[in-house]
A and B are shown apart, each in its own frame.
Chain A
Amino acid sequence: MYSGGYTGKILRVDLSNRTFTEESLPVETACDFIGGAGFTVKYLFDEVPADCDPLGPENKLIYAAGPFTGTRIPCASRMAINAKSPLTGAMGVGLSGGHFPVELKRAGYDALIIEGVAEKPTYLWIKNGKVSFRSADDLQGLTSTDCQQVIKDELRDQNVRISCIGPAGEKLSRLACIVNERRVVGRRGLGAVMGSKNLKAIALRGDQQMTIADEEKFKAARKRMLDAMKKSPVLYSQFAHEGTSGNVDNCTALGIFPTRNWTTTGMEDYAEKIGAEAIATRGVGRTACAECPVACSQMRLAQTPPYTGIMTEGPEYETLYSFGGVTGVVSPDAIIAADRAADEYGIDTMSAGVTIAFAMELFERGILTVEDTGGLDLSFGNHESMVQMVRMMGEREGLGDVLADGVRIAAQRIGRGSEKYALHVKGLELPAYDVRGAKAHGLGYATSYTGADHNKGYAIQEIFGLPFPYPVDRFAVEGKGALTMWNQDARTAVGDCPTMCIFMLDTSVAPFLFENTAGLLAGATGLELSPDDVQRVGERVNNLARAFNTLAGLTRADDDLPERLKTEPIPAGPAKGHCIPQKDLDLMLDEYYEARGWTPDGVPTRAKLEELRLGYAADKLGLA
């Protein structure tokens, strides 16, 4: 039994009937899934039909923090949100930091399950066990910052923490995100799921303190982690002051910073123009998620017309790619403006940028013309058009409406051979690593249960050169299957479930990652999981998510990469000549499925699922 860390309660809200109930958190669920992403995968698998319409009433929106959240464990104000994704048709788990996750625990809940559809625009007000269904009529059309401010004013409490959607979510853009403060659960269109439920926002307030199961164990484990953070050669000395922007320089130096819709990777030096040093000239301070001593979030202010005076939290590395490199834009101020606009409209910066880059390539190839763009010159590098397109996507205006559901759907709408320029896996637009020069990272894109997701199986060995669990040759193909499984399970078990900022893995705790999580878990909750048990939680979550996706109709054929990555080598730079031909992808997939104990078609086996105490998933799959 757990005796700390968790609140022990799950709040279930039925929007259709305007009712709510509290349920206990079963100890088996805590042991097998820890929290966060694990809880959301478990509940979604159990309760949502895999073949449902993601924007229909059967889908559910599930929030979960972890047992570390709201304790004094550093960097643990994180939460997962899950639903069947309207962008990918698969599990949609995304995570966010900020202050909302801690407030969810203080309000009394480990998880929040939202069902049904509200008859009228609604927001939820949850305070210490009381739930109110409030009218969101006056919030319709509001941007994320305004929405949060109006709710705070209405509730006469400026310390309320809010998770909301912007206009893009209301308009059911499949790229819509969910915003809390200035943090975002960005990917896979979960904002559209919220919009489909007529739910504009969730406001939280609470004063519950987390109990700690074993103070001595807790202090020892926490001290070990804090010591590792202090000794990190990168965390406080560099990462705290640059945030993620240093990765522009890193990936440029490795020759894998993708540019101009992945046609010119390695040909130009974007680091000089939008790398850490360039973007730091716009710095106006730092901010932190709750209970984080690092404060890696950088506040930046645009300084040149027409963007002068626009501030944003970020842009993070991924956004420097999506509104920078991949669109060919080299104006830091335009990237800042686009980042802020995307957050206000509530649209994923990554997918939005890659979708605009797709349209830019079509424009340059003559597949789209100024008649399609409403007069905009959508050439690569045109920063004013790029920023304007973000607004048009957020408003579903003109070509923005065509693009507002991502590249896969946009290519279907546009036709004319555009599909081959649409860079996605399972419908999710590609992140900021040209994986032709980092093969395990590419296998991670192909096999992540969420689509092309850099964070579900981040290859720290290839991108950062970390030798954990062992060093690898990033250009090699063989041996990447088992490594990718390790990366996915590690990140899930150590970051997404407890929940903890995954940057701690990258900077500080990788040498003892499973031990770190097990020690903190024992201290905070009283649950005694061995380091191997912790790793096994990651494996369990990835298997259950895969089972859901299999039930949703996804197969080995969906574990794919865009044609460009298979047939067009990187044209220049340190990774010149590399690509991932189909035969290499097949070899890696075969290795990966074998390591996972799945069939050659990528379906989990009954033996594997039962080994993971997931026999019910084997039953649902109808496995012999």
Chain B
Amino acid sequence: MITVRVRTIGLLKSLIRQGELDFELPEDSTVQDVLDAMAQTYGPQVAVHFVEAEDRSAHPPLRVTVNGRDIAVLGDRQTVLSDGDDILVLTPIAGG
């Protein structure tokens, strides 16, 4: 088994009511497995934000990073996780 740390901010944090969560998962689990576990734990209010956009050319509705790197440059949701990974999950932020 591996343990990963999931961090959320903004909307997801307010839905989950926690900014940091630890998940214990089988070896070779992926980002998708973490999102599924979160959806199962926190229900449809959270799960709705994890639905992949039909139009991949539009503004993405979810950002996920693993150890600071966007999963788009890793293996998207099939990115395989390791023990101790730091995963950031957030709905989009804009403006600065």
Contact = CB atoms under 8 A, between A and B. Distances in A.
B1 interface: no
Interface in B54-96: 57-61, 63, 65, 67-70, 72-73, 86, 88, 90-96
Contacts of A503: 94-95
Which of B61, B65, B72 has most A Cβ within 10 Å? B72
A234 B94 contact: yes
Interface in A407-446: 432-433, 437
Given A253-B90, A276-B10, A467-B60, 11 more contacts: A232-B59, A233-B60, A233-B61, A238-B91, A239-B94, A243-B95, A244-B96, A246-B10, A317-B96, A465-B63, A511-B58
A506 B94 CA distance: 6
Interface stretch (A98-106, A111-119, A471-479): A471-479
Contacts of B59: 231-234, 466, 507-508, 510-511
A464 interface: yes
A206 B92 CA distance: 40
B96 A474 contact: no
A503 B59 CA distance: 13
Nearest to A317: B96
A471 B95 contact: no
At the interface, is chain A mostly helix, strand, loop or mixed?
Answer: helix
B11 interface: yes
A473 B10 contact: no
A467 B62 CA distance: 12
A231 B55 CA distance: 11
Nearest to B53: A233
A201 B46 CA distance: 51
Contact of B93 (A234, A318, A458, A473): A234
Interface residues of B, number: 27
B9 interface: yes
B91 A475 contact: no
Given A246-B95, A511-B58, A574-B86, A475 B69 contact: yes
Contacts of B73: 471-473
A506 B59 CA distance: 9
A388 interface: no
A274 interface: no
A574 B95 contact: no
Nearest to B11: A238
Interface string A440-468: 00000000000000100010000111110
B60 A247 contact: no
Contacts of A244: 95-96
A50 interface: no
Contact of A233 (B57, B72, B92, B96): B92
Contact of A471 (B61, B67, B70, B86): B70
A463 B90 CA distance: 12
A402 interface: no
A276 B9 CA distance: 10
Interface in A479-538: 503, 506-508, 510-511
Contacts of A454: 96
Interface string A268-309: 000100001100000000000000000010000000000000
Contacts of B70: 465, 471-474
A255 interface: yes
B19 to A, nearest CB: 9
A247 B58 contact: no
A476 B11 CA distance: 29
A254 B92 contact: no
B67 to A, nearest CB: 8
Contacts of A466: 59-60
A458 B95 CA distance: 10
A403 interface: no
Given A276-B10, A473-B73, A464 B58 contact: no
A473 B94 contact: no
Contacts of B96: 244, 247, 251, 316-318, 432-433, 454, 458, 463
A249 interface: yes
B25 to A, nearest CB: 20
Contacts of A316: 96
A255 B68 contact: yes
Contacts of B63: 464-465
Contact of B68 (A232, A467, A575): A575
Nearest to A256: B68
B60 A465 contact: yes
Given A472-B73, A575-B68, A231 B94 contact: no
A316 to B, nearest CB: 8
B8 to A, nearest CB: 8
A249 B9 contact: yes
A342 B10 CA distance: 29
A464 B86 contact: no
Nearest to A473: B73
A578 to B, nearest CB: 9
A271 to B, nearest CB: 7
20 contacts: A233-B61, A234-B94, A235-B94, A238-B91, A238-B92, A239-B95, A244-B96, A246-B94, A253-B90, A254-B65, A271-B9, A433-B96, A464-B63, A465-B65, A471-B72, A473-B69, A474-B70, A507-B59, A511-B59, A574-B68
A311 B65 CA distance: 37
B95 A254 contact: no
A250 interface: yes
Given A511-B57, A511-B58, A464 B94 contact: yes
Which of B7, B70, B91, B94 has most A Cβ within 10 Å? B94
Contacts of B7: 253
Interface string B1-26: 00000010111001000000000000
Given A276-B10, A508-B59, A250 B69 contact: no
A238 B11 CA distance: 8
Contact of A464 (B11, B69, B92): B92
Contacts of A239: 94-95
Contacts of B95: 239, 243-244, 246-247, 296, 317, 503, 506-507
The 5 closest A-B pairs by CB, nearest first: A471-B72, A244-B95, A465-B63, A234-B92, A250-B93
A467 B59 CA distance: 8
Nearest to B49: A233
Which of B69, B86, B95 has most A Cβ within 10 Å? B95
